Amino acid sequence: MSSSAILPGPSKGQQTTLGVMGGGQLGRMFVQAAQRMGYFTAVLDPDVISPAGLVSHYHIHADYLDEQGLAQLMQRCAAITTEFENVPAPALHTLGAHRPVAPGAESVAIAQDRIKEKAHFVRCGVPCAPYAVLQSETDLAAVPDTLLPGILKTARLGYDGRGQLRVRTRDELANAWATLKGVPCVLEQLLDLQSELSVVVARGWDGVMVHYPAQANVHRDGILAITSAHAGNLPPALGDSAVAATRAIAEGLNYVGVLCVEFFVLQDGSLIVNEMAPRPHNSGHYTLDACDVSQFELQVRTLAGLPLNAPRQHSPAIMLNLLGELWLNWGQIPIKSADTAQLPAPVKLKSDPNYFDLAQLLALPGVHLHLYGKLQPKPGRKMGHLTISAATVAEVKARALLACRLLGIEPLADWLAP
């Protein structure tokens, strides 16, 4: 379904409402961006205390395939988006028959299945790691020796390192296949990686596409830890190649919405695609504080058919993820007097001066705190993020390094050293 512009503000005695499937932090930030622009918002999510539902005008407590819940969302909303790729594609098909939905069910269905996703990358001429599709014992026996050692990944429902097992031999591959209960998988050859990066683009109903520069990423235990978004973070030609590949992937899908594509850089400097996310992405959170238009405002604009202006980054930025371990280990991370001496002003610490609290982070110039409203910290759970911005690259690296020390996050020295 195509869309003409859906404008914010009152219309026929009612406020225009935009909907989002999913109530996590990405939905929360979409809701906040839409509300800032004057839209009412509705969230469909089964969790009664979902981060997005807590801040939205309407929260429909229903399963993603619940017919009554979907009908209520359609009745309230002029257009509907999704905040994560595991919303069932059939639900988006149902919604798309009656309302503009971006991204569409077809794009989301491809992103939900690594087998379909890799086939799409191949069609677009974007290189990916050598791989084999495993859907049967016959496929398992036919795996070429060249793919070992490798990484066995479930075709569906894998994210943040979940559903992935490293295998070195055929015996390990067979055991991993059994551990994953024989579900459809992709076996990727294990390559020698130099670094990781991602690109966020936004494409409208009319085919107009804008993008942010490529950003460099570091993962720990399969979860994004640090994103670097500033001059010098990547060789310019490499960043340009990643942007061109991302645009080709979006064009090949006839995509509408915000799309992030993640890449690996090999030791020889070549680029291969890893996966795509049909939504705003963790690595694009810095755009909230360092750009004139955030990825979430672009999500609103694409959904509503509003003009897309090329975003402008006005400050070098580094983003740090805040995981549940920080709350579970609260007060257990020692800091050094040399670190506190770098703070711009004295900060009242907890009763034990050897431990930090959030006030120390907020005393750093250019630190922007975003917590997602989650009540229960868990290991590996994304509770929030910090964006550090500054006038120069050297300043932003120095402040990010100090923030890492205050948080007890072991930074990569070559990344953050000024």
Q: Give counts: helices (H), strands (E), the chain.
A: 15, 19
- Going 263 to 268 to 270 to 273, the CA torsion angle's sign is negative
pTM score? 0.91
Q: Is the pLDDT of residue 15 over 70?
A: yes
Q: 321-360, pLDDT tens digit by residue?
A: 999 888 877 644 444 444 444 544 433 334 344 445 688 8
Q: Is the pLDDT of residue 390 over 50?
A: yes
Residues 379 and 358: beta-carbon distance below 8 Å: no
Q: 144-187, pLDDT tens digit by residue?
A: 999 999 999 999 876 655 678 999 999 999 999 999 888 999 99
Q: Which two tokens stand for residue 175?
A: 């055991």
- Mean pLDDT over 86-102 rounds to 94
CA distance 192 to 171: 22
* DSSP-assigned states of every residue in 347-368: ----SSTTB--HHHHHTSTTEE
- Mean pLDDT over 392-400 rounds to 93
| Chain region(s) in the chain for CATH 3.30.1490.20 | 130-189
**CATH code given to domain 193-416:** 3.30.470.20
CA distance 72 to 22: 15
Q: Which two tokens stand for residue 2?
A: 């195509």
Share of the chain above pLDDT 70, in %: 89
Q: Which two tokens stand for residue 225?
A: 């830890």
Residue 196's pLDDT is 96
Residues 260 and 198: beta-carbon distance below 8 Å: yes
Q: Which of 194-208, 288-302, 396-410 shows the lowest per-residue confidence on average (mean pLDDT)?
A: 396-410
Residues 223 and 326: beta-carbon distance below 8 Å: no
Residue 356's pLDDT is 53
Axis crossing angle, helix 89-96 with helix 67-76, rounded to the nearest 10: 40
CATH class belonging to 10-101: alpha beta
Residue 350's pLDDT is 40
15 forms beta bridges with 10
The one-character DSSP state at 213 is: P
Share of the chain above pLDDT 90, in %: 77
Q: Which two tokens stand for residue 7?
A: 């404008």
Residues 405 and 320: beta-carbon distance below 8 Å: no
The one-character DSSP state at 68 is: H
Architecture of domain 130-189: 2-Layer Sandwich (3.30)
- Mean pLDDT over 132-152 rounds to 94
Reported as half-sphere exposure (CB side, CA atoms, 13 A), residue 243 has a value of: 15
Q: Is the pLDDT of residue 240 over 70?
A: yes
Q: Which two tokens stand for residue 370?
A: 């975003």
Q: 267-310, pLDDT tens digit by residue?
A: 999 999 999 999 999 999 999 999 999 999 999 999 999 999 99
User: Quick count: other Cβ atoms within 10 Å of Cβ 42?
Assistant: 24
CA-to-CA separations, 346 to 23, 144, 158, 231, 400, in angstroms, rounded: 39, 62, 45, 32, 19
Residue 332's pLDDT is 47
Residue 414's pLDDT is 58
| Chain region(s) in the chain for CATH 3.30.470.20 | 193-416
Q: 245-278, pLDDT tens digit by residue?
A: 999 999 999 999 999 999 999 999 999 999 999 9
CA distance 209 to 236: 20
